[in-house]
Amino acid sequence: MENNILTGFTGDYHTHTYMSDGSSSAEQNVLEAISKGLKEIAITDHGFGNPKRFAMTEEKFDEQRKQLEILRAEHGDKITIYHGIEADLIGEDGTIDLSEKQMAELDVLVMGFHSFAKPKSFRDWRRIYWNAYLRAIKYPPKSVIARNTKALIRAIKRYPIDILAHPGHLFKVDCVEVAKAAGDYGVLMELNAKHFNYSHELFEKMLTTSANFVVNSDAHFYKLVGGFSQIEQFLSQHSFDPSRIVNLGGRPAFKKK
């Protein structure tokens, strides 16, 4: 049985701007989302712990907040605009690179593993970053996957994360175990259009957990906002309750709101 996806997607909750490593403005992302018929968008630039070249600073974050306030005043009747951050997992103990103060300022918290982030310690670099650097290792040892999985689950338990960005991308984890924890703690598993790496078999297994999912573009260029056709095609080959994909017809509720 195929799903009917005619209800369409309501929002894109993972997009970047020139404030981090994107090449467009928040306004361009918002206008593109409106033109594609989306009702919600989140601007989620890379967080405060990233290397200088595209670091989000507190000053830039404040400036971005002001930009979004102006955009809300202009386009608020057409689209809901959330202000978020894509934070990084930086420690085996589940630490992420966001202070309590910064966390309190967000509408939505996206969190993922990024090999360019700054690990908490040399030990964390050696234990969890090193393996992700070795992109050639498509099938790392089970012990590495188990360790990564535990680190991600610790983060899920410690922080009010809304969306787990591209689980399994570079940083190999047991996505089914992660999905179980995500279901328990109300964290959305992302189907990321930029880094889409789920097999049909894996997605079926994740559907057996209580986790819900969200489809996001991870757009770094405004034209890619709301570009979900590849994932739509993937989903059309599965049978599931459409409400499991929170932005398929519905609107997700974020913890920070």
The 111-150 contact track toward Zn ion, x by CB under 5 A, reads: -x--------------------------------------
Interacting stretch for Zn ion, rule CB under 5 A, among 84-92, 96-104, 202-210, 230-238?
A: 84-92
In the complex with Zn ion, which residue's Cβ is closer, 154 or 166?
166
In the complex with Zn ion, which residue's Cβ is closer, 86 or 162?
86
What is the footprint of Zn ion within residues 163-182 (CB under 5 A)? 165
Q: Could you give the dihedral angle defined by the CA atoms of residues 41, 46, 52 and 53, in that order, rounded to the nearest 10 degrees?
A: -60
Q: Each residue of 44-75: b (16+ CB within 10 Å) or e? A: bbbbbbbeeeebbeeebbeebeebbeebeeeb
Interacting stretch for Zn ion, rule CB under 5 A, among 32-40, 104-112, 142-150, 176-184?
A: 104-112
In the complex with Zn ion, which residue's Cβ is closer, 78 or 133?
133
Q: Which of 12, 32, 45, 86 binds Zn ion (CB under 5 A)?
A: 86
Q: Which of 12, 218, 225, 245 binds Zn ion (CB under 5 A)?
A: 218
In the complex with Zn ion, which residue's Cβ is closer, 74 or 247?
247
Interacting stretch for Zn ion, rule CB under 5 A, among 48-56, 88-96, 108-116, 198-206?
A: 108-116
Q: Which residue has the tokens 């570079």?
A: 170
Q: In the bound complex, what is the minimum distance in angstroms from residue 110's beta carbon to Zn ion?
A: 7
In the complex with Zn ion, which residue's Cβ is closer, 195 or 238?
195
Interacting stretch for Zn ion, rule CB under 5 A, among 55-63, 199-207, 217-225, 229-237?
A: 217-225
Q: In the bound complex, what is the minimum distance in angstroms from residue 56's beta carbon to Zn ion?
A: 12
Q: Each residue of 173-183: b (16+ CB within 10 Å) or e? A: bbbebbbbbbb
Q: In the bound complex, what is the minimum distance in angstroms from residue 54's beta carbon to Zn ion?
A: 11
Q: Which residue has the tokens 């809300």?
A: 72
In the complex with Zn ion, which residue's Cβ is closer, 61 or 77?
61
Interacting stretch for Zn ion, rule CB under 5 A, among 94-102, 178-186, 216-224, 241-249?
A: 216-224
Binding site for Zn ion (CB under 5 A): 86, 112, 165, 218
